[in-house]
Structure 1
Amino acid sequence: MTMTVGAAFDRIFGAETPFRLVAFDGSTGGMPSGRVMRLKSARGLNYLLTAPGDLGLARAYLMGDLEIDGLDEGDPYEVLRLVAGGLVPRRLGPRDVAELAAFVGRSGLRVPELPAVEAPSPLRRLSHGLRHARSRDAEAIHHHYDVSNEFYELVLGPSMTYTCACYPSDAATLEDAQAYKYDLVARKLGLEPGMRLLDVGCGWGGMVRHAVQHYGVTALGVTLSKEQAGWAQARIEAEGLGDRAEVRHADYRDVTERGFDAVSSIGLTEHIGVKNYPAYFRFLRERLRDEGRLLNHCITRPDNQHAGLPSRGFINRYVFPDGELTGSGDIVRAMEDEGFEVRHHENLREHYAKTLAGWNTNLSKNWDDCVALAGVDTARVWGLYLAGSRVAFERNEIQLHQVLASRTTSEGVSGFPLRPRYEPSDF
C-alpha cells in the first residue's frame, strides 16, 4: 500500500499533533480538531523534505505552498507557539524508517527554487570573504537592516529602537520601555554632563540622542548600515543636537578616537563572531579612559557549550546571516581576560519577549503598508522571525544579558561608588 502525505505526517509527528494536515493528494493527518495546515503542492512537500524543520516550513509558506487557516501574518505567535510545542518528531522504529524512506524516494526528492528573499548559502557568501571579514559583515548587515527606514518606523514605532526594551512595569508601553532601557544604560554607565560616550552598533541613534538630551554628554555613534546612519544624522540635526552628537556610517573598528568616558554596545556582539570577542573587547577597552565604563547588551544562549556555532536554519538564511551566540559566561570571561572588571550582570529575557510582542503588534496593525514598502515575502519573514523569537525567549532557548564593566586603573580604582543605584526613578 502506497503511503499518503497525511499518513507520513502521522508517522513522523503522531496523530495527536495540534494541527490537522490537509495535503494536496487528498489525504489528511494530525488531530481532526486541530488548526488546519494546508500543504498545497508537491513542491511544498519537497521544501519540507529537503530542509526538515523551520527552514523547510518557512520556504513552503513564503512560496505559497503551505497555508494555515486563521494565521495572522503580521503576528503568527499563536501558531508558532503550537509548532514549538506540538510539531516534535517521534522516535521512529526500523519499520517506520524503512517505509518513510520509500515514501521519500517515490516523492521525487529535489530542491525547488528558493524564495527571492533568502540570503545566499554560507558557501556562496565566501564571495564576500570569510565569516566576519569586514566586507562580509557589511553585506550581512545590509541584508537585514537596509530594508527601508519607513518599514522600520512602522514596525519599531516612534523610538526607532531595534533592541530589547526594559519594562518598568507590566503595563508600560513599548515606547516607555525603550526610554526606560536607554535611561537604565545611561545610569549604569554613570553618564554626567561633559562626558564623552561612544555607542558602537548605534542603529538609528536612539542611545546617542537620549544620552545627549538627558545627560548632557557628547556622543559618537557608528553603524554599518547606511540607511540607519542617514536617518540618525538627519534626526540629530532636526533636534538641534549636531554640536554634541554624531552618527557615522562606519565599522566600529574604524573609530580612532580614544579617551571616552563610556562605551555602550547595544545589540552588536551578536554580529561579530565569538572568536573575535577578545579583539572586540580589547578594542573597546582601548577606547576608554581609566575608570571608564562599558555596557555590553546582547542576545545570548542559556549555556556556554555551543560557542562559535553560527545560527542555522531560518534565522541564518532569512534574518541574521553569520550571526553567532554564546552564553553570558563566555562574554564575561572574554571581558575579564581583556582587562575589564565586571561590576554588574543581569538577564532581561522576559523583557525581550514583551518587546517582540510589541513589534509583532505594530507589524500586524500596519500590515498593508509594510507589504507595500517591502513586499509580502519580506513582511512574512518579519512576522515569522519576530513571533518565533518571542517563543524562543519565553521558552528560555535564548536570553538577553547586560554586562557592565570598568577599565579599572592599575591601582585597582574602578570609579564605582560603594553601592551604585541603577534603576531610573522617574518612570
Structure 2
Amino acid sequence: MAISTMTVADMVGVFFNQDAPIHVSAFDGSSFGSKDAPLNLEIRNSRAVYYIAECPNDLGLARAYLQGDIASPELEPGNPYSVFKQLMELKEYTRKPKKTELAKLSATILSHGIRKPKPPEIELPSLAQRMAEGIMPHTKKGDAATVSYHYDQSNDFYAMFLGPSMTYTCACFPTADATLEKAQDHKLNMVLDKLNLKEGDSLLDIGCGWGSMEIAAAKRGIRVIGVTLSQEQVDWGTEWIAREGLEDLAEVRLMDYRDVPESGFDGICSIGMMEHVGHKHYHAYFKEMLDKLRPGGMLLNHQITRCNSFQGKRAGGFIDRYIFPDGELASPGEIEVTINNVGFEVINQENLRQHYAITLKHWNENLQDRWDDAVKLVGEPKARLWGVYMAGSRFNFELNTIQIHQFLCIKPDPETGTTTYPLRPWWNR
C-alpha cells in the first residue's frame, strides 16, 4: 500500500540529510540514501510507521523491531550492538524539520485514518493502566507483580545467556580478558570480602536471584538467607542448594525483604535490587537494612545509578513496558546522602560502570550463540527483546549515561566507636 503525498523515503528525508550514512528501503517501493551505506534498514509494512508516529521515541521503535516490522542485514540475532553504534553516529546528520514538512507528513499518515495498531503481546500495560488495576508502584503487591513479570520467565532461557553462574548482575573482571564465569565468581567473593564475613557469620541477601550468592557464602561457612519475589528463582535456588549439599547453611525464600522476621545479621547484601525500590522509598529501604543488622554489621548495596542528579529518575517507555516496570534510578550522590541520613557510615564507594559494559557484551554473545534455541524456548519477540535490551544497556554504560555503584556501609556501634573496622581496606580484590 503506497502512502499518498509522501513516500516513506520522503518521511525519512524530513529528519536526515541526504548524505547520512544510511540506506532505507520501504514497503511502498521508495528508498532513501545510498545502497552502499554502512547501515541498511528495511521498513517492511505500514504498522512500523504507525508505531513510530504514535510513539516517536524508543517505545515506538522497539514495538516495530520486536514485531519484525523493521529489519537490517547488519542486525546480529540476539546482539544488535553494532547497529546501536551506527544509529548514534547518525546524530550529526540529522536536520530540523520545517513546519510545512511536518504538516505534510502528518497529513499523509492521517489520510489513511487514525490507526493505533496493537502493541506486541509481550508488552505490559502503561503505568496508568496498571494503577487502574490496583497495581500501585513500589507497594508489596506492585513489587511482586513487576518482579514476577521480569524474572518468572523460563529459567532455561536465562541460563542461555547468564551461563552456569546464573548471576544476573554486573560481574567484576580482574582482567579485561577474564571469562564471564571467573568475573562473576570474583564479584561474589569480593562482596563477601568487603562485608568482612567469616565462618559462622550470618548474611541476608535481598533480591537473591537464582542463588549464586547463597552458594558462594555457604561454601565459606556463612549462614545465609536469600529472599526474592520470583517463584522461578526460588525453585532453581532451592534445588541448587540441595545439589551442593548446603541446606544446613543456605536458604532461598519467596518473601518480601520487609517481611523477613530475623534480625541481628552480621552482613546484608543487596545486589541489583534497588532499581525496583523507587527513589522516594530509599530512606525506608535503608532504614529496614539498618534495623536488621547488629551494631557493627555491614551492608553492601550494589545498584545501577544515574550519572548526576539532573537526570530524571523514571525509566523511559521501553524499559517501563518491557523490562523493569516502575524502575527508577538516582545519582550516587543522592543515594549516599540517604544512606548517611538513615544512620549508616559509608566506608567505601566504587563505580563498576566499565565492568557492566563487558558483562553485557558476554551476555549478548551468549544469546547470539544460542539464538535458535532461545527463539524455540520463548518465541522470537521475547528473544529479540532481551537482545536489544542488553545491547542498548551495554552501549549506555559505555557512553557513561548510566553507571553502577557499590556502597559499603556499617551500622555504627556506640561501644566500639572508631575501632569498628580496620584502618585501611581489607579486601584483596
Could you tell me which residue of structure 2 aligns to residue 69 of structure 1?
A: 73
> How far apart are 1:54 and its partner, in Å?
1.7
> How far apart are 1:90 and its partner, in Å?
3.0
> How far apart are 1:87 and its partner, in Å?
5.3
The 5 A counterparts of 1:96-245 are 96-106=101-111, 108-126=113-131, 127-213=133-219, 215-245=220-250
Q: Aligned partners of 2:419, 2:107: CA distance in 1, in Å?
A: 66
Match of 2:127, SS state, is coil
Could you tell me which residue of structure 1 aligns to residue 16 of structure 2?
A: 13
The 5 A counterparts of 1:246-285 are 246-285=251-290
Could you tell me which residue of structure 1 aligns to residue 36 of structure 2?
A: 33
Q: Provide closer, same or farther for how the CA distance between residues 192 and 317 of structure 1 changes in structure 2, counting only shifts above 3 A.
A: same
**Are residue 416 (structure 1) and residue 421 (structure 2) matched?**
yes
Q: Provide closer, same or farther for how the CA distance between residues 12 and 81 of structure 1 changes in structure 2, counting only shifts above 3 A.
A: same
Residue identity in the other structure for 1:196 = S
Identity of aligned residues (%): 46
**Are residue 386 (structure 1) and residue 390 (structure 2) matched?**
yes
Structure 1 stretch displaced more, 192-201 or 66-75: 66-75
Q: Provide closer, same or farther for how the CA distance between residues 69 and 242 of structure 1 changes in structure 2, counting only shifts above 3 A.
A: same
Residue identity in the other structure for 2:281 = N
The 5 A counterparts of 1:268-417 are 268-306=273-311, 309-410=313-414, 412-413=417-418, 415-417=420-422
Residue identity in the other structure for 1:8 = M
Residue identity in the other structure for 2:174 = P
> How far apart are 1:230 and its partner, in Å?
0.9
Residue identity in the other structure for 2:6 = M
Q: Provide closer, same or farther for how the CA distance between residues 414 and 19 of structure 1 changes in structure 2, counting only shifts above 3 A.
A: farther
Could you tell me which residue of structure 1 aligns to residue 27 of structure 2?
A: 24
Match of 2:224, SS state, is strand
Structure 1 stretch displaced more, 64-73 or 170-179: 64-73
Does structure 2 conserve the Cα–Cα contact (< 8 Å) formed by 1:205 and 1:232?
yes
> How far apart are 1:100 and its partner, in Å?
3.3
Structure 1 stretch displaced more, 311-320 or 152-161: 311-320
Match of 1:334, SS state, is helix
Structure 1 portions without partners, runs of 5+: none
Structure 1 stretch displaced more, 406-415 or 71-80: 406-415
> How far apart are 1:415 and its partner, in Å?
2.2
Could you tell me which residue of structure 2 aligns to residue 53 of structure 1?
A: 57
> What is the alpha-carbon root mean square deviation over aligned residues?
1.6
> How far apart are 1:107 and its partner, in Å?
5.1
Does structure 1 conserve the Cα–Cα contact (< 8 Å) formed by 2:74 and 2:82?
no
Does structure 2 conserve the Cα–Cα contact (< 8 Å) formed by 1:212 and 1:245?
yes
Cα displacement string for residues 370-403 of structure 1 (whole angstroms, at most 9, x for unaligned residues): 1111111110101110101101101111111001
Residue identity in the other structure for 2:280 = K
Residue identity in the other structure for 2:326 = D
Structure 2 portions without partners, runs of 5+: none
> How far apart are 1:144 and its partner, in Å?
0.9
Tell me the matched-pair count. Answer: 422
Cα displacement string for residues 229-270 of structure 1 (whole angstroms, at most 9, x for unaligned residues): 110011101101000110101111110101000000000100
Structure 1 stretch displaced more, 7-16 or 352-361: 7-16
Q: Provide closer, same or farther for how the CA distance between residues 314 and 136 of structure 1 changes in structure 2, counting only shifts above 3 A.
A: same
> How far apart are 1:136 and its partner, in Å?
1.4
Residue identity in the other structure for 1:296 = N
TM-score (norm 1): 0.95
Residue identity in the other structure for 2:234 = A
Does structure 1 conserve the Cα–Cα contact (< 8 Å) formed by 2:74 and 2:83?
no
> How far apart are 1:40 and its partner, in Å?
1.3
Q: Aligned partners of 2:125, 2:244: CA distance in 1, in Å?
A: 39
Cα displacement string for residues 189-246 of structure 1 (whole angstroms, at most 9, x for unaligned residues): 0011111000000001111210111x32100000000000110011101101000110
TM-score (norm 2): 0.95
Q: Aligned partners of 1:25, 1:282: CA distance in 2, in Å?
A: 59
Does structure 2 conserve the Cα–Cα contact (< 8 Å) formed by 1:197 and 1:263?
yes
Residue identity in the other structure for 1:114 = P
